[in-house]
């Protein structure tokens, strides 16, 4: 069900012409990062020219200035035309909402302003609706099943009514990075902060699906953190990768191996096969195909491990994760090549505490393929 208790609809009934209404409505993709400054300048120049109406939207979540000290989501929209502020709106939309929920709700205020504007001025031509959220931009008129589908359907109905009453206008929904250099963005942000102080009423939106998801995740992470401190943490995983309490995210090295990590504009990524990822997990937990792991199997029907079964190919006894990754002379050249960018690590923990070492470890495992497969002598029969 949706945030307002409405069913998510697999095949929603849409107004005829939605979502583009014969080219009268467009959702423009965000500009590339390097072009965002030029795009902002272009919008500001259009504001200065005053020929195209611009509606800026903003959202904030805060308790600043509230007597009840409740953190609420407030939205605002401001319309500029002919170089002046034609009108604005600001309201509190609810308590238990995320920033993304608020960015979606802001379009309600923008469309109300738009409707009043075209009625009073009988304007004909293009109108820009500008959001600072790239996520909301792609959800405004996305009618597939998602957390805020009910809002998207409401927007479609409102836009359809406006276009039927004023067929000579066109709507262009744009993204502009939030910036104080853009007068409309700055003003909308100010209005949203002012709206935070408004009282709550009985018509506020109930907790959104996204808020409930975030709240549930926070509770789960808190429980995991408590378990982390209460447990003895004696396994090898805590001496290698899991050196800090859970934060709800996959470990850094797993993100580098899958989606990649972007920090300060630099992308750290090293895609590896599922086989290598599985080997990595086994090495972290101490369950890799090493001699030390063979020693863990003690059963009356299992003969004692021989030296050949627990020794490394280089002769070291027993072969364990630390030896394989940090000391084995057979992979010394690969270790220098891939793990020395931040200085050669002298412990398992240091293998996982650096972005460059994490990426290097994945390259090391990919090239050497150490511990990928069990030794033939270990297999029964």
Same-domain check for residues 201 and 302: no
Same-domain check for residues 204 and 287: no
pLDDT confidence of residue 381: 40
pLDDT, tens digit only, all 381 positions of the chain: 444 456 678 888 899 889 999 999 999 999 988 898 899 999 999 999 999 999 999 999 999 988 888 889 999 999 999 999 999 999 998 887 888 889 999 999 999 999 999 999 999 999 999 999 999 999 999 999 888 898 999 999 999 999 999 999 999 999 998 888 889 999 999 999 999 998 876 666 667 777 777 788 888 888 888 988 888 888 888 888 888 888 888 899 999 998 888 887 788 899 999 999 999 999 999 999 999 988 888 877 878 888 888 899 999 998 999 999 999 999 999 999 999 888 889 899 999 988 899 999 999 999 999 999 886 655 444
Inside any domain, residue 295: yes
Inside any domain, residue 337: yes
What is the phi/psi pair of residue 325, to 5°?
-90, -30
pLDDT confidence of residue 89: 93
CATH number of the domain that residue 103 is part of: 3.30.420.10
Same-domain check for residues 306 and 207: no
Same-domain check for residues 152 and 249: no
Same-domain check for residues 272 and 372: yes
Same-domain check for residues 164 and 246: no
Same-domain check for residues 259 and 167: no
Inside any domain, residue 76: yes
Same-domain check for residues 285 and 154: no
Number of structural domains in the chain: 2
- Predicted model pTM: 0.66
Same-domain check for residues 187 and 258: no
pLDDT confidence of residue 298: 80
| Residue ending a domain, choose from 163, 194, 211 | 211
Inside any domain, residue 38: yes
What does the H/E/C string look like for the chain? Answer: CCCCCCCCCCCCCCCCCCCCCCCCEEECCCCCHHHHHHHHHHHHHHHHHCCCCEEEEEEEEECCCCCCCCCEEEEEEEEEECCEEEEEEEEEEECCCCHHHHHHHHHHHHHHHHHHHHHHHCCCEEEEEEECCHHHHHHCCCCCCCCCHHHHHHHHHHHHHHHHHCCCEEEEEEECCCCCCCHHHHHHHHHHHHHCCCCCCCCCCCCCHHHHHHHHHHHHHHHHHHHHHHCCCCCHHHHHCCCCCCCCCCCHHHHHHCCCEEECCEEECCCCCHHHHHHHHHHHHCCCCCHHHHHCCCCCCCCCCCHHHHCCCCCCCCCCHHHHHHHCHHHHHHHHHHHCCCCCCCCHHHHCCCHHHHHHHHHHHHHHCCCCCCCHHHCCC
pLDDT confidence of residue 211: 75
State the residue range of the domain holding 93.
Answer: 25-211
Q: What's the CA angle centered on 379, arms 373 and 381, to 5 degrees?
A: 150
pLDDT confidence of residue 5: 53
């Amino acid at each position: 069900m949706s945030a307002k208790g409405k069913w998510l609809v697999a095949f929603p009934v849409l107004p005829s012409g939605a979502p583009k209404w014969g080219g009268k409505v467009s959702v423009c993709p965000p500009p590339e990062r390097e072009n965002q400054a030029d795009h902002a300048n272009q919008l500001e120049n259009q504001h200065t020219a005053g020929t195209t109406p611009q509606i800026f939207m903003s959202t904030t979540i805060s308790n600043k200035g509230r007597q009840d000290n409740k953190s609420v989501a407030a939205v605002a929209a401001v319309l500029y035309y002919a170089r002046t502020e034609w009108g604005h709106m600001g309201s509190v939309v609810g308590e238990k909402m995320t920033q993304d929920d608020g960015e979606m709700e802001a379009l309600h205020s923008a469309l109300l302003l738009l409707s009043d504007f075209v009625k009073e001025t009988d304007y004909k031509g293009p109108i820009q609706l500008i959001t600072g959220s790239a996520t909301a931009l792609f959800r405004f008129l996305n009618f597939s099943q998602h957390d805020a589908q009910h809002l998207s359907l409401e927007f479609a109905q409102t836009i359809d009514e406006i276009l039927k009453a004023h067929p000579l206008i066109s709507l262009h929904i744009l993204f502009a990075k939030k910036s104080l250099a853009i007068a409309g963005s700055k003003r909308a942000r100010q209005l949203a902060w002012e709206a935070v102080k408004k009282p709550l009423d009985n018509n506020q939106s109930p907790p959104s699906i996204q808020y409930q998801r975030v709240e549930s995740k926070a509770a789960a992470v808190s429980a995991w953190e408590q378990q982390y401190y209460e447990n003895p943490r004696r396994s090898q995983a805590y001496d290698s990768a899991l050196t800090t309490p859970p934060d709800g995210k996959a470990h850094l090295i797993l993100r580098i191996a899958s989606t990649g990590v972007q920090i300060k504009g630099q992308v750290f990524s090293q895609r590896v096969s599922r086989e290598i990822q599985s080997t990595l997990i086994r090495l972290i937990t101490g369950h890799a195909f090493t001699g030390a792991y063979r020693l863990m199997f003690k059963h009356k029907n299992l003969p004692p491990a021989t030296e050949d079964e627990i020794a490394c190919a280089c002769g070291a006894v027993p072969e364990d994760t630390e030896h394989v990754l940090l000391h084995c002379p057979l992979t010394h050249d690969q270790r220098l090549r891939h793990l020395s960018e931040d200085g050669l690590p002298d412990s398992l923990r240091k293998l996982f505490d650096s972005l460059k070492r994490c990426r290097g470890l994945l390259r090391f495992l990919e090239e050497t393929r150490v511990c990928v497969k069990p030794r033939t002598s270990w297999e029964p029969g």
